[in-house]
Amino acid sequence: MSDHYLPGLEHVIASETSISFLDVEKEEIVIRGYDLMELAEQMTYLDVVGLLLEGELPNESRRQAIESLIQAVYGLPPNVRAMLHLMPDRADMMDVLRTSISALASFDDELDDRSLEANGRKALRLLAKVPQIVAYGYRAITKQPLIEPDPKLSYTANFLYMITGTIPSPMEVAIFDQSLIVYSEHELPNSTFAARVIASTQSDIYGALVGAVASLKGTLHGGANEAVMHMLLEAGTEDDLEALIRSKLARKERIMGFGHRVYMRKPDPRALLMKEALAKLAPACNQQELYDMCVRGENVMRTEKGLHPNLDYYAAPVYYLLGIPIELFTPVFLAARTVGISAHVMEQHANNRLFRPRVHYTGARDLHPPQGNIVS
Ligand code: SDX
């Protein structure tokens, strides 16, 4: 037994997987043998769904079949839909997501079947229902009419349409789809690790996803994309963003959207891709100054702290310009990552060993309760 304690499990290899690997040296995110950036540039999110859940890139007919299987299970159980309307209007959307996914479990007839086939079917059901919980949940608590998916629209277009109520343009769909791909899977972040830990007790995929949602809500993790957008809106201009970052750094505060436990001082390849997407989207939305402001912030952090932006830094303004409410930035991240988390749960169930680490004990020893206090 190794007895050295690594805070935050830093540098610890906690799982064996054939799903993904962050090759920091080669600055490549490997997804079942493919470079995630190439997948994001040449394929669609549902291609990556097939790759992650079935182990190989689907051909056109298999990808269409996956889309049909997902569309066939669109819709939430009436009780879950009704529950969304019972949530308080101040509810955090990650809590609405966590609660609703938990409620969904009770309506799944295959809940405790941990076979690859049953888990694969449950993963597709989750890929259909999680985006609807994100969109319906937000519209329910903001007292807006729920938008039903349009059968003429693609999976990705429908996800955006159900949120905004507007049919997205081809460019908006392409950029949103690319963001879903780069958010889809990223090795063993805190949330996916939480899911694998839960699955290792032979608990079900819904419970594992609920644990991942609770983890992803934190601003050190998935919650960062919302915090980035609030920072950009608070600053408003390039100069003010530079001043705001400098003042935060002077107070030893963390700047959301920068740094990464694995990439450390190296760039996050996904951020570069979303930066290119923002470079296209900003002028089309007459928001060039938003792009310029983000670039200024990036330059300040690189010179002041030697830190690079992570995916959340550029995904946030992209989502803002796509018309996604800020409260839904992290829920959209979770919806996209549902496929990666599902793949890890399936792998854990198929080749399991219970996670049960030890501790480095720093407490007292050899104490004894006072005599004569024995409760008769
Ligand atoms: C995601 O794991 C994943 O893969 C996650 C994710 C995924 O796809 O699932 O990539 C998604 O969670 C991205 C990260 C989003 N979070 C943020 O943007 C929040 C801001 N980032 C930081 O809190 C931080 O960078 C972490 C939490 C992401 C990583 O922190 P570490 O590895 O614990 O690094 P650290 O705290 O040891 O910091 C090392 C140094 C420190 O300086 P010193 O005290 O040594 O002088 O870097 C500094 C830190 O102060 N630092 C920052 C900083 N991040 C690190 N300083 C200012 N702003 C920051 N953002």
Q: What single string gives the DSSP state of each residue in 65-78? A: HHHHHHHHT-S--H
Kindly provide the b/e burial profile for residues 88-97, where b requires at least 16 CB atoms within 10 angstroms of the residue's own CB. eeebebbebb
Distance of CA 94 to the CA centre of its chain: 11
C-alpha 300 – ligand 1 centre gap (Å): 16
Catalytic residue (choose from 35, 92, 221, 240): 221
pLDDT of amino acid 4: 82
d(CA 286, CA 265): 33
What is the residue with the minimal CA distance to atom 12 of ligand 1? 221
Model-wide pTM > 0.80: yes
What's the pLDDT score for residue 373?
67
Residue 335 burial (C-beta neighbours within 10 Å; 0-12, 13-18, 19+): buried
Q: Give the pocket of ligand 1 (CB within 6 Å).
A: 186, 189, 220-222, 224, 254-261, 305, 307, 310-312
| ipTM, 2 dp | 0.96
Summary count for the chain: helices (H), strands (E): 16, 3
CA angle (259, 265, 266) in 5-degree steps: 100
For residue range 334-371, list pLDDT tens digits in order: 999 999 999 999 999 999 999 999 999 999 999 999 99
**Is 349 known to be catalytic?**
no
Neighbours of 116 (CB within 10 A): 13
For a ligand 1 pocket test, name from 221, 308, 329 the mutation site with the most ligand atoms within 8 angstroms of its C-beta: 221
What pLDDT shows up at residue 376?
67
190 Cα: distance to centroid of ligand 1 (angstroms)? 13
Burial of residue 248 (number of CB atoms within 10 Å: 0-12, 13-18, 19+): middle
Strands 34-35 and 28-31: antiparallel
pLDDT in tens, 83-97: 999 999 999 999 999
Report yes or no: 104 and 80 within 8 Å, Cβ to Cβ.
yes
**Ligand 1 atom 14, closest CA:** 221
Q: 100 with 137: CB under 8 angstroms?
A: yes
Residue ranges of the chain with per-residue pLDDT less than 70? 1-3, 373-376
Q: How far is the CA of 263 from the centre of ligand 1 (A)?
A: 9
The pLDDT of residue 1 is 53
Contact 344, 186 (CB under 8 A): no
Determine whether 312 is an active site residue. yes
**221 carries an active-site annotation:** yes
What is the chain's alpha carbon radius of gyration, rounded to the nearest angstrom? 22
Write down the catalytic residue from 177, 186, 204, 260: 260
The single-letter code of the amino acid at 174 is A
